[in-house]
Copies of this chain bind each other. A is one copy, B any other.
């Protein structure tokens, strides 16, 4: 998930957090990471969530992680997140209780939590565009309480959870809640990566590296990764990048044009979210190419139609739909994809404040993804 100051601002969090049975919360408490306004968070005691609708499931969190979006939330950049909200939209867990309408899961089942909630019934869900589900989308740790807690309530459980087969590495699967489908759907699928193609990935953070891993499903010939952090570029090399460019010290446009005989790349994937990196993509995209934006942009960018109008290109945007999650499961099981590679640090869940510290200083700590175990 990637943050946005503007997404889903129309939704009423109250519609999701109302507890139909006010006094039952008194019976059970849990610990959770709570947002208390810009710059303030703490590991608090909170009421354990309860089933509210027959389509809900209550999940005991086994493992969760922290997303770049969570850092933005903590800074106060995501106005839909209000004070008192439990953060987090990734994780694996065990069904504690399933609502009466839930048919795919029962108590004790191990599940992967999708960062996107899907009702399975609305116009958008029927088009498999779950990101825009009229009742779901990105609501976890945003409009309703999330996964950085001992328990979480998952609405529309049948369509928003995935069963974990026995014997699967559950830690690795935490990467399938958000980061891998995001990189794959918004970057690789939208970028139409093809065998033999030349692609550039701008940004070697966790999302950019998720693109790098999943782009190789399609065997591109040349994979250029561009970042300003030499450590991350070194990681990218070990993950399959054929070329890396440090755009802080090298002229990225010139270097890409050199590598492509002046033609530009077939696919350019923006995984940062600022104007400079998007405009770099515009500059290196070849005729007939695909520019896939993943980054969350807080500001507009300049689109150079005066040169691009005749270049036969596509530019795409997307909030992850998590429609590829079943496929990603299969590639993990088949050892075509190793999400473990993205995990650099591990903490106990009650060390989450410390884990935020590490993840928030990613460059210094050489951190990619952290795992929190309950």
Contact = CB atoms under 8 A, between A and B. Distances in A.
A121 interface: yes
A333 B198 CA distance: 12
Question: How big is the A interface, by class?
Answer: 35 or more
A308 B222 CA distance: 29
Contacts of A131: 310, 312
B312 A315 contact: no
B288 A309 contact: no
Contact of A306 (B128, B242, B297, B318): B297
A318 B326 contact: no
Given A219-B336, A288-B127, A307 B6 contact: yes
A221 B312 contact: no
Interface stretch (A33-41, A100-108, A202-210, A229-237): A100-108
B309 A317 contact: yes
Contact of A309 (B218, B293, B306, B330): B293
Contact of A317 (B7, B128, B311, B331): B311
Interface string A108-133: 00000000000011011111110110
Interface of A: 2, 4-7, 54-55, 100-101, 103-104, 120-121, 123-129, 131-132, 158-159, 194-197, 216-222, 242, 273, 278, 287-288, 293, 295-319, 321, 323, 326-331, 333-334, 336
A211 to B, nearest CB: 14
A336 B195 contact: yes
| A contact face: mostly helix, strand, loop, or mixed | loop
A124 B334 contact: no
A288 B331 contact: no
A316 B317 contact: no
Given A305-B297, A307-B6, A219 B331 contact: yes
A309 B326 contact: no
Contacts of A304: 300
A317 B313 contact: yes
A207 to B, nearest CB: 13
A129 to B, nearest CB: 5
24 contacts: A5-B306, A6-B307, A54-B54, A124-B288, A126-B326, A129-B312, A132-B312, A195-B327, A196-B328, A196-B330, A217-B218, A217-B219, A219-B219, A221-B331, A242-B334, A273-B309, A278-B305, A296-B310, A300-B305, A302-B303, A310-B317, A312-B317, A312-B318, A315-B315
